[in-house]
Amino acid sequence: MIDLHTHTTCSDGTDTPSALINKALAQGVKIIALTDHDSVAGWAEATAALRADIELALGAEISCLTESGTSVHMLGLLFDGTNAEMLTMLEQTRDDRVPRMVKMIELLNDAGIHVTMQDVEEAMPHGATMGRPHLADALVKRGVISSRDEGFKELLNNESQFYVAHIAPTPETAIAQIRAAGGVAVIAHPFASHRGEILKPEAFSSLVAAGLNGIEVDHRDQNVQERAMLHDIAQELGLVMTGSSDYHGTGKLNRLGEWTTSPEQWEKLEAQADKRRVVRAGNQ
């Protein structure tokens, strides 16, 4: 089983990196990618937790904004985690998530919904990338909503009056940076239409020109038609097709390994990194 998209307490997941590795091992996942939002903070712990029978693809899910303001998520896998430009790009996004949260809290307060930055900080594991799920957790604690899911349905989704964007690279910039750091770029859930504005099919050619390697085709937020369209686009553009869980522990319903990537597609993807960077127990 190959699962190329997961989150931990280093962003908005609820399992620590080592707990994630243990869970993956127990469930028979053979290759797992660690892709916290805009962060590589979990890499060392996940690597240290490795044992026989599981391999780790280190990565990050990079929040991007197109020139026209559409939110896009780019999975960067197998890049050099010491690449200074890459680390700076991720840090700029993480830094801007703080004033962005302040603005979202102000909008909620103006509408009579009481929540504070301190609530959000208390809802967030130390060192995590701050995000809307932590705001949702703070609102749950205050009794405003009953779950993250309800929070995203009502107050926190991209179309909501309380939504504020944060600084983020364009998808093309993120792809170029991932490739310059030796990694491979896979666009995450590009047709997850119920989340808000999505990419137009014609947008993919510019991503390919920037160096895109693959498309996340199989993902729970894409219905059967959306997956079929992505399959056709990937085939036409010669891109790798992945499937993955986008596991967040108890932070989302997604189950580890609920969607997977075939060994053939993984081999094709891995071969496009500048060198073999998959981590195994004992080879770090």
Strand partners, 61: 37, 75
Residues 42-81 touching ligand AMP, rule: CB under 6 A, are 63
Residues 68-97 touching Fe ion, rule: CB under 5 A, are 73
Q: Binding partner of residue 148 among ligand AMP, Zn ion, Fe ion, none, CB under 5 to 8 Å per kind?
A: ligand AMP
CA–CA separation, 92 vs 129, rounded Å?
Answer: 11
Q: Binding partner of residue 251 among ligand AMP, Zn ion, Fe ion, none, CB under 5 to 8 Å per kind?
A: ligand AMP
CB 213 within 8 A of CB 219: no
Interface residue with Fe ion among 45, 137, 226, 246 (CB under 5 A) is 246
**Binding characters for Fe ion, 248-267, by CB under 5 A (x = yes):** --------------------
CA–CA separation, 28 vs 284, rounded Å?
Answer: 22
Handedness of CA 6, 164, 143, 192 (dihedral sign): negative
CA–CA separation, 266 vs 284, rounded Å?
Answer: 21
Q: Where are the beta strands (DSSP E) in the chain?
A: 2-3, 31-37, 55-65, 71-77, 184-188, 214-218, 240-243, 279-280
SS3 label, residue 279: strand
Interface residue with ligand AMP among 17, 133, 171, 257 (CB under 6 A) is 133
Q: Binding partner of residue 188 among Fe ion, ligand AMP, Zn ion, none, CB under 5 to 8 Å per kind?
A: Fe ion
Q: Binding partner of residue 132 among Fe ion, ligand AMP, Zn ion, none, CB under 5 to 8 Å per kind?
A: ligand AMP
Residues 3-42 touching ligand AMP, rule: CB under 6 A, are 12, 37
Q: Which residues of this chain interact with ligand AMP, rule CB under 6 A?
A: 12, 37, 63, 131-133, 148-149, 152, 251-252
Q: Which residues of this chain interact with Fe ion, rule CB under 5 A?
A: 61, 73, 188, 246
